Amino acid sequence: MGIRTLIVMLVASILLIAFLALKPAYSLFLPGLLEGALLTAKITVLGCLLAVAMGVLAALGKLYGPAPIRWLANLYIEIFRGTSALVQLFWLFFVLPQFGISLEPFTVAVLGLGLNVGAYGAECVRGAVTSVARGQWEAATALNMTRAQMLRRIILPQAFIAMIPPWGNLFIELLKSTALVSLITLSDLAFKAQQMNQTTMKTIPIFTLVLLIYLAMSLVITIGMRYLEGRMSKGLARGRTV
């Protein structure tokens, strides 16, 4: 699906939300849902930043780090990929205080979801780096570059393009996983919807708005990643023709 079609879908979803907001049955719930959506957006953005940082560090550590770093990177990846995100959130929120470490619910949400998605992202980064043609490494070696210089100047810029589509999918998964944070006392979009539904039993208007809000947020992520992929691809193509 092209980026223009995605933009049309985003605009349509926003206009539909605005249209429904004019109806009394929907306007009653929209302010509270938007408040929850703002918290969801904050967790998503910060969680994505943490996931990218951890994914890149874990992948490079697994590929090129000394033995202790490789061991730690593998341990992190396998633990966070092999256990439930919900259990990880509960462990950070309920178990860490038993060891004298208490974290705010918002901090737990960002850490839990960011570390979980970062573990999956590490494999995306590793696959993208190893997919760069061997000739690129050999050319960089012939120019007497260090490994750090090779990665920064030659390998990662090319691997980055291959990482963008899977990272986009992971960011959307992180967005949807924010629904779990209601279980650690955060009033996110999903929690607000459940709370309103239990109070009013107006299921159709509440969850119609929630569906459209989640759709709009996921479309923003998809459009952003498609745009970034296009810009990076054009930049790499220009670099190859110089």
Q: Residue 242 — pLDDT band, cuts 50, 70, 90? A: very low
User: Can you give the pLDDT at residue 235?
Assistant: 56
Cβ 17 vs Cβ 209: under 8 Å = yes
Residues 6 or more apart whose CB falls under 8 angstroms from that of 39 comprise 186, 187, 188, 189
pLDDT of residue 239: 47
Contacts of 172 (CB under 8 A, 6+ apart): 218, 221, 222
Query: Do residues 29 and 209 lie in contact, with contact meaning Cβ atoms separated by under 8 Å?
Result: yes
Helix (H) or strand (E) holding 7: helix 3-21
| Separation between Cα atoms, residue 204 and residue 235, nearest integer Å | 46
> What would the mean pLDDT of 159-181 be, rounded to a whole number?
92
Is the Cβ–Cβ distance between 120 and 88 less than 8 Å? no
Mean pLDDT of 200-220: 94
* Top-confidence residue, 231 or 202: 202
d(CA 116, CA 28): 35
Are 224 and 167 a contacting pair, CB within 8 Å?
no
On the question of pLDDT at 167 being above 50, the answer is yes
How far is the C-alpha of 207 from the C-alpha of 195, rounded, in Å?
12
Average pLDDT (198-225) is 94
The pLDDT of residue 104: 94
Regarding predicted confidence, which is higher, 106 or 185?
Answer: 106
Q: What is the mean pLDDT of residues 171-191?
A: 92
Q: CA-to-CA distance for 172 and 159, rounded, in angstroms? A: 21
pLDDT in tens, 104-163: 999 999 999 999 999 999 999 999 888 888 887 778 778 778 778 888 888 888 888 889
Predicted TM-score of the model (pTM):
0.90
Count of Cβ atoms closer than 10 Å to residue 73 Cβ: 22
Q: What are the Cα distances from residue 95, in Å, to 91, 102, 118, 152?
A: 5, 9, 21, 39
| Domain boundaries defined on the chain | 3-19+28-234
pLDDT at 217: 96
Token digits of residue 107: 């901090």
Please tell me the predicted confidence (pLDDT) of residue 236. Answer: 58
Query: CATH for 3-19+28-234?
Result: 1.10.3720.10
What pLDDT was estimated at residue 233?
A: 73
